[in-house]
Amino acid sequence: MSSVQEEDIVIIGAGPCGLSAAAELQDQGFDPLVIEKENVVNSIASYPTYLEFFSTPEMLEIANIPFVSPHEKPNRLEALNYYRTVAERKKLRIRRYEEATAIVPEGKGFRIESTTKYGGERLVTHARVVVVATGYFDHPNRLGIPGEHLPHVTHFFKEAHPYAGTKVVIIGGSNSAVDAALELMRVGASVTVVYRGESVSDNIKPWVKPIFESFVAKGRIDLRLRSRVVAIEPARVTVRTNDEAGSDGAARTDSAAREKVEADFVLALTGFRPNRAFLRAIGVEAPEGNVPPTHDEVTMETNVPGLYLAGVVATGRDANEIFIESGRNHGKKIAAHLASLRDSATAFSSD
């Protein structure tokens, strides 16, 4: 174990909201340290290769640095270049490929234990303030069905080429599922989309939804609504159709029919959720479910004094509640609060 490094403010996570918080704090005269277990904006790096954002460039901007793009809707590569440039221009202090494994309230601050990705060196950092800006991409919503952990099943979709000429079942009805279905169809995959709703999500990008519906109508994509995959085998899945929700919200099976559908691959694109257990271990009131972790919406401070939230980690179970365009403003709230405490000389000092 190395010696303890002393810091005023440590930010856990170098996603867009973590970088935004670092830049806002820097503008207020602080010098925060960012600890990131991969590299900057790793969640965006993990997005599908050809992803196009729903937001316009200006709605993704942070640190008062313009996001210049020739496109109305920027793509993944443009976003990677932009956020990497922000980190470089602002000269943010970032310890990359270092995972925070524990945050423990200790003395007038927190003890942060971390491990480097390569070599496994154990590090300890003490900070008076911690901002948790971890994302959610490492924690997919599990289906909890037999076969979910088979090697041909994944909760992530990168690009279509590996699936060319195969039979693919997609579970889900959100933007990620619809985008994947269209890409897979275009490379010659046989695509079946299974979704529990009466129709695909209302949040589907408006310029994509008509295209998807057209290919469904033409039989190019097989869409199974009011349906669930209830079991996965090496070469097929079991689909239960005509699911109906009872008064308690649970699916009724009395009128449901089951069918075997061939599948070389299964993409369970059912969304992601923040890691609540990590917050609870620190002492944050963060129950499972749709209720957000306890925090002040004006300052973003949690029920643990000195511990703040930024980005999607501040939301409930549905990670889509907070996008970059809203989560990027959390850092401004945190910086303003810490600056007011410092200036009042009552609870914080940046010396």
- pTM > 0.75: yes
- Count each helix (H run) and each strand (E run) in the chain, helices first: 8, 17
Candidates 59, 271, 266; CA nearest to 176 is 271
What pLDDT shows up at residue 344? 84
Note whether 272 and 319 are within 8 A (CB).
Answer: yes
Buried b (16+ CB within 10 A) or exposed e, 84-121: bebbeebebbbbbebebeebeeeeebbbbebbeeeeee
Cβ–Cβ contacts within 10 Å for residue 179, how many? 21
What pLDDT shows up at residue 272? 82
Taking the C-alpha atoms of residue 339 and residue 344, their distance in angstroms, rounded to an integer, is: 8
Taking the C-alpha atoms of residue 117 and residue 37, their distance in angstroms, rounded to an integer, is: 7
DSSP 295-336: B-TTT-BBSSTTEEE-GGGGS-S-GGGS-HHHHTTHHHHHHH
What pLDDT shows up at residue 247? 40
What pLDDT shows up at residue 160? 97
Q: Spell out the per-residue pLDDT of the chain, length 351, in tens.
A: 567 899 999 999 999 999 999 999 999 999 999 999 999 999 999 899 998 888 899 999 999 999 999 999 999 999 999 999 999 999 999 999 999 999 999 988 999 999 998 778 899 999 999 999 997 777 788 899 999 999 999 999 999 999 999 999 999 999 999 999 999 999 999 999 999 999 999 889 889 999 999 999 999 999 999 999 999 999 999 999 986 544 444 555 555 689 999 999 999 999 887 778 899 999 999 988 778 999 999 999 999 999 999 998 998 655 543 468 888 999 999 999 999 999 886 555 544
Structure token digits, residue 224: 């199974």
What pLDDT shows up at residue 328? 92
What pLDDT shows up at residue 5? 94
What pLDDT shows up at residue 288? 81
What pLDDT shows up at residue 321? 39
In the chain, what are the domains? 4-139+272-344 (3.50.50.60), 153-268 (3.50.50.60)
Backbone angles phi, psi at 280, to 5 degrees: -60, -35
Taking the C-alpha atoms of residue 278 and residue 284, their distance in angstroms, rounded to an integer, is: 9
What pLDDT shows up at residue 322? 45
What pLDDT shows up at residue 246? 42
Candidates 139, 132, 137; CA nearest to 34 is 132
What pLDDT shows up at residue 348? 53
Token pair 């299964």 is at which residue?
Answer: 266
Q: Are strands 257-262 and 236-241 parallel, antiparallel or unpaired?
A: antiparallel
